[in-house]
């Protein structure tokens, strides 16, 4: 397998560090708009023993054993297609933010390559009833191309991070092995992470965090389908395992709610995120003063007026989450709570995966949240490479048998757990 990894930020860099320890692929091209980031990711795994010192070939890539670096504009479909074809890549792994999903998705289809992402195409709220009805849902633009992907004979595995991703695998596992019927699948995410020296320092991309948390959350119910609620609705306190403890969680827009009902029979599907009151208040203020907007505004610059996106300004003013690992303490938990019936009796379980930041920094040099996101697409790529997972068309993680994924995840040295509620 030859892989094109687009995006060499925190998650992309963690992907290289995890993949370097596995033998299922022949070569990985690490591409980023900022080629220095791509080169740094390649140099990191080369210095760790995956190859010799990085050099430069005549094709514009820097080489380092099984890894090479390249510059790419993720919005340039033609350039991405050309890079896929020139490097003879079998699959594109998208580690960019959701703004670039569609050009990368279309480029993969055009190049005849498989595709895998960790976040799906962006939503747009309903213009008149944003907190009651869905407008354009997460992933709708991708699923609109389903026929082309089915005819291509290739697979587009969408939403294959940790959430979405592992959480969806947990839902499939529950349906296959733990329940006869499911009343609700509820993804619940929480952490006790702190960052020394910062009052507000998100552990993941603030651009994506704003998008998720301020858009209308989506809920699925049998008979009603998908509908929306106001941001931060239906608060509940969820007790997370392995010492994290109780965290208040609220409804947040997330891909699982759009994916799980397509392949798992459940009466209700929800996603709730443990944000905390201070974090929620900060996001509300950003929204109130318009700093969550993506549309450019005109500001004065040294050489005259310039156009800037308020959300990009917020991101530029905050620390890069990938650089916070040394200051971060605590654990992060991703998991899926399932309520239903087994053998005629009510049952509730919480399937979960916990990563301790101290462990991920010591073992991989990556902070816990980005490492937890990155490990799952690498596991999925290995399953596709070996044929343990196979398919065509646009598929979510829950479209595949769960057990091979969960067993391989444990083999990677990061086991999952289950708690009877």
pLDDT digits (tens, 9 = 90+) for 369-413: 999 999 999 999 999 999 999 999 999 999 999 999 999 999 999
CA distance 319 to 205: 10
Q: In this structure, are residues 203 and 328 in contact, taking their beta carbons and an 8 Å threshold?
A: yes
Contact 386, 24 (CB under 8 A): yes
Per-residue pLDDT tens digits for 241-260: 999 999 999 999 999 999 99
Q: How far apart are CA 351 and CA 336, in angstroms?
A: 5
Nearest Cα residue to 287 out of 259, 310, 268 = 310
In the chain, the percentage of residues whose pLDDT exceeds 90 is: 77
Among residues 142, 75, 72, the alpha carbon closest in space to that of 109 is found at 142
Rounded to 5 degrees, what are φ and ψ at 321? -55, -30
Whether residue 171 contacts residue 186, with contact meaning beta carbons closer than 8 Å, is answered with no
Residue 62: what pLDDT? Answer: 45
Rounded (10°) CA dihedral 178, 223, 159, 1: 70
Q: Which residues of the chain have pLDDT under 50?
A: 51-64
Q: Radius of gyration over alpha carbons of the chain, in Å?
A: 21
Environment class of 67 (CB within 10 Å of its CB; exposed 0-12, middle 13-18, buried 19+): buried
Q: Hey, is 316 helix, strand or coil? A: helix
Q: What is the pLDDT of residue 51?
A: 40
For residue 81, give the nearest of 114, 117, 108, 59 by alpha carbon: 108
CA dihedral 240, 241, 246, 248 (to 10 degrees): -10
Helix, strand, or coil here: 333?
strand
């Amino acid at each position: 397998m030859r892989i094109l990894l687009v995006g060499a930020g925190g998650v992309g860099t963690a992907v290289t560090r995890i993949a370097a320890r596995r033998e299922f692929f022949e070569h990985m091209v690490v591409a980023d708009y900022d080629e220095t980031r791509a080169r740094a990711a390649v140099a990191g795994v080369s210095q760790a023993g995956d190859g010799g010192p990085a050099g430069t070939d005549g094709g514009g890539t820097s080489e380092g054993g099984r890894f090479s670096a390249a510059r790419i504009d993720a919005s340039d479909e033609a350039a991405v297609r050309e890079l896929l074809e020139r490097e003879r890549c079998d699959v594109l792994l998208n580690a960019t933010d959701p703004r670039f999903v569609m050009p990368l998705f279309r480029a993969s289809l055009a190049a005849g390559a498989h595709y895998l992402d960790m976040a799906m195409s962006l939503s747009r709220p309903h213009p008149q009833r944003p907190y009651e009805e869905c407008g354009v849902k997460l992933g709708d633009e991708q699923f609109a191309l389903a026929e082309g992907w089915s005819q291509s004979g290739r697979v587009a595995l969408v939403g294959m991070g940790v959430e979405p991703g592992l959480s969806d695998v947990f839902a499939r596992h529950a349906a296959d092995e733990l329940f006869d019927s499911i009343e609700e699948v509820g993804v619940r995410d929480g952490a006790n992470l702190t960052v020394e020296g910062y009052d507000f320092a998100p552990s993941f991309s603030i651009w994506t965090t704003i998008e998720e948390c301020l858009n209308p959350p989506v809920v699925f119910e049998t008979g009603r389908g998908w509908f929306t609620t106001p941001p931060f609705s239906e608060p509940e306190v969820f007790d997370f395992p392995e010492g994290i403890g109780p965290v208040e969680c609220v409804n947040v827009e997330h891909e699982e709610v759009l994916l799980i009902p397509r392949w798992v029979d459940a009466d209700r599907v929800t996603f709730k995120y443990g944000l905390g009151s201070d974090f929620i208040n900060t996001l509300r203020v950003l929204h109130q003063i318009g700093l969550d907007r993506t549309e450019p505004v005109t500001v004065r610059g040294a050489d005259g007026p310039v156009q800037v996106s308020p959300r990009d300004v917020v991101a530029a003013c905050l620390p890069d989450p990938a650089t916070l690992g040394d200051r971060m303490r605590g654990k992060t938990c991703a998991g899926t709570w399932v309520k239903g019936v087994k053998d005629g009796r009510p049952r509730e379980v919480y399937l979960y995966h916990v990563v301790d930041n101290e462990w991920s920094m010591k073992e991989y040099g990556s902070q816990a949240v980005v490492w937890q996101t990155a490990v799952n697409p690498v596991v999925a790529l290995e399953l596709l490479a070996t044929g343990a997972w196979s398919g065509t068309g646009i598929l979510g993680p829950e479209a595949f048998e769960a057990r091979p994924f969960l067993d391989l995840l444990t083999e990677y040295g990061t086991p999952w757990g289950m708690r009877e509620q």
